[in-house]
Structure 1
């Protein structure tokens, strides 16, 4: 969907994110003089009455929830093609996933975020709504001006996807959830209650307090029968046995052993942390990050397409490729030595797709054939975000061709089989691992001539990121793979 000048009465500024079910735009409410986020149902679901109904029901549920720690829905409407949209509060301070890519959180800050997200989940549960996908990417931050202590950053429960709102019996999902945060009963497809969200919040608490995840499940089947979590304490942070006991109870595989509700878990954790978790206001609030996307100046006139900002979307959230994949690409066949000096020996160019969702950096010699307007995945008739850069128009079919393809596709599981490359003399075995809890599958083939890397990441419950790199040597392939960025996905 190209960037519209307006959505209803709202002046559109730029795209925030895009997934399999919706696109989210940053816009400005000129009547109320305030930035907003507008989620629009994706074109490929326009004719599906079930998806449309659940999209609107999500807005109605959120509209009924009175909590500063749940994303607020202010308004709803329809485009000229009858696609619905929801107007929501704008998270100008990004997500918890953004924060964790930097220095992380102090213990008082972690305690405050857990407390606020607990309040948001409790408000949802009071309305009979389960979140079912509590994870860093779905914890949003926005600035507010309290009556005292200056400006603060507030945490909110949010979600840019639609998959979690669908019934398990729906043809659109199997068992929803992110493996490293999902409760065992959810991974098993059982009937759920509020204690499933409590498990996810406890997993989030383990991550924020210790600086490492409690689990690194690659699949939902692994999450269905988790082992006991490791000790909460690390060399850098020591916690009392009481704190460890509280978090472990929240992570109990048997939900009957958990706390009766989210409020009880949060209260027990705050009490166990004591002075370590309190801090003083505003010390336990997160600091404002000036580099995160801001709404910009208030538009004084109705903008035309030529007058709309040309700046890119929010700062990218770079996905760190797992060590197992890097070992395959960088270390095999002496690739590591070549990689060290790769960027010093090659001029490079960076390309972004038309949606502003995908970005990749390639050798300048590859930039002869560029396609930025997306792609239509196999078995689908709808366009998705995609980017292709190669040294020739036929780089994917020509022996010795070099290039990269990066694309999104609406799928809820990793592919069972990966593309075959008959021209390669040696095809590696599929390597399954995780990236920040997201399942990944990678195959490295050699003697093609050169190397071909197929890399797939389950970036959300209903979206895959697919990367294919063809290069003459492993070090070049590794550098290109490491440069891939996604914005607003997952």
Structure 2
């Protein structure tokens, strides 16, 4: 192996990176006085005709795309030892992998960059090409003369013409970005395979995490709790395991992301449309975790043999009894029924649990209860509309206690968890319409304390 200093008129400056079959160099075009990138077939593949053809195919496909959203090919040639090379435009801004390395991006920026990558994919599709390996390291950034970045798709080493892709028999792609049909030899793919990868790209930029395998992707709002429902729906639709349910085109996906990136377009919705696709446990997370204090200061009285404790909110209007083992932390400064879909007011409420920091994760093992008072609206109707997507719904039952009547609904088997989640809407047993109470209970096993908690709830004047 010998060190290259020049390739034709291109003076090599430094190595930028290497892939499975080639090495990419930063070079200088002495004639045009411009920086370029030169990709050279690795020495160990020079005698493999199939790899050589695949290498040259990438250059041809890049050239066929002929789009300023895809890396441009300027020249192609061969070294004296027989290795082919091709010359491309140089992206001086690095890759999206570099950009997301420090963590998730601002949502609007993540959507804008993903939309630009999707426009690049659409240009490939219009040219009859499917990329098959869209991921952050294959999305390049090039500084524009007027400021800002151009987003370029690169590395078409796995790309195929759409005509060839319909009959592909070899699996390919990168973990986390590969749709199920692309991972199964012989299933054939089309442009919607790239739509899945683009959804995974957007997910990574928004959450800072590579998504799980198809059908097991953790909802992005569990990793970023301030994410607007419309953004989540757009990303998850792109990553549907069933390609018939995805965005039909990369251009359509890009248009939606561009709309959501507009100021104010992707604000969290105060009242999600029915049926509720977003678990309320996540909507309440910020209210529950903020202002956590030690629970002992709010104990009203101990229960039998100190196995239960009675807690109250900061106004003293809402009190309840919970198992002593749940009473490590308390958040007692109220809530807004708007999170349930009711009037936007500040009402008394409390959350008590053995670890409130885990409350926002449906898969975490936590014991506790959230109890909120509402003076307006129909709490039971709102509880009836809740859906915890991904959890197993165990059904509902009516509750008829001495002080409250209402509806109880229960879920278990939430992703990554083995406990239960209970939602309850309560109205006074005497027939009065107000006040009403919303209760959410998390339990990680053992005896069911639901009726104990509901039966102990009291609301003062």
| 1:195 pairs with 2:183 | no
Q: Give 2:241's match in structure 1, choosing from 240, 247, 253.
A: 253
- Paired residue secondary structure (1:13): strand
Q: Is the 8 A contact 1:29 1:36 kept in 2?
A: yes
**How far off is 1:229 after superposition?**
2.8
In structure 1, distance between residues paired with 2:209 and 2:153:
21
- Paired residue secondary structure (1:35): strand
What do the CA deviations read for 1:147-177 (whole angstroms, capped 9, x no partner)? xxxx222221112x73556989999x94111
**How far off is 1:237 after superposition?**
4.8
RMSD across aligned positions (CA): 2.7
Q: Which stretches in structure 2 are left out of the alignment for 5+ residues?
A: 268-461
Task: Give the corresponding residue for 1:43.
Answer: 43
Task: Give the corresponding residue for 1:231.
Answer: 219
Task: Give the corresponding residue for 2:130.
Answer: 130
Q: Comparing both chains, which one has the higher relative contact order based on Cα–Cα distances under 8 Å and sequence gaps of 6 or more?
A: 1
What do the CA deviations read for 1:49-100 (whole angstroms, capped 9, x no partner)? 2222222222122112232221111101110112110001112121111111
Flag as ranges the 4+ runs of structure 1 deviating above 6 A.
166-171
Task: Give the corresponding residue for 1:158.
Answer: 154
Task: Give the corresponding residue for 1:143.
Answer: 143
What do the CA deviations read for 1:23-67 (whole angstroms, capped 9, x no partner)? 111110111110001001111221222222222222122112232
How is 1:233-382 mapped onto 2 (pairs within 5 angstroms)? Answer: 233-234=221-222, 237-276=225-264
Task: Give the corresponding residue for 1:101.
Answer: 101
**How far off is 1:196 after superposition?**
0.3
When normalised by structure 1's length, the TM-score is 0.50
In structure 2, distance between residues paired with 1:13 and 1:165:
31
In structure 1, distance between residues paired with 2:265 and 2:21:
38
- Paired residue secondary structure (1:61): helix
**How far off is 1:228 after superposition?**
4.8
Change (3 A) 1:39 1:112: same
In structure 2, distance between residues paired with 1:243 and 1:155:
21
Provide the aligned length of Structure 1 versus Structure 2: 264
- Paired residue secondary structure (1:12): strand
In structure 2, distance between residues paired with 1:240 and 1:276:
11
When normalised by structure 2's length, the TM-score is 0.53
Q: Which stretches in structure 1 are left out of the alignment for 5+ residues?
A: 216-222, 280-490
Q: Is the 8 A contact 1:3 1:14 kept in 2?
A: no
Q: Is the 8 A contact 2:228 2:266 kept in 1?
A: no
Q: Is the 8 A contact 2:23 2:39 kept in 1?
A: yes
Q: Is the 8 A contact 1:68 1:156 kept in 2?
A: yes
**How far off is 1:243 after superposition?**
2.2
Q: Which has the larger radius of gyration?
A: 2
**How far off is 1:258 after superposition?**
0.9
In structure 1, distance between residues paired with 2:180 and 2:188:
11
In structure 2, distance between residues paired with 1:194 and 1:19:
24
Change (3 A) 1:3 1:195: same
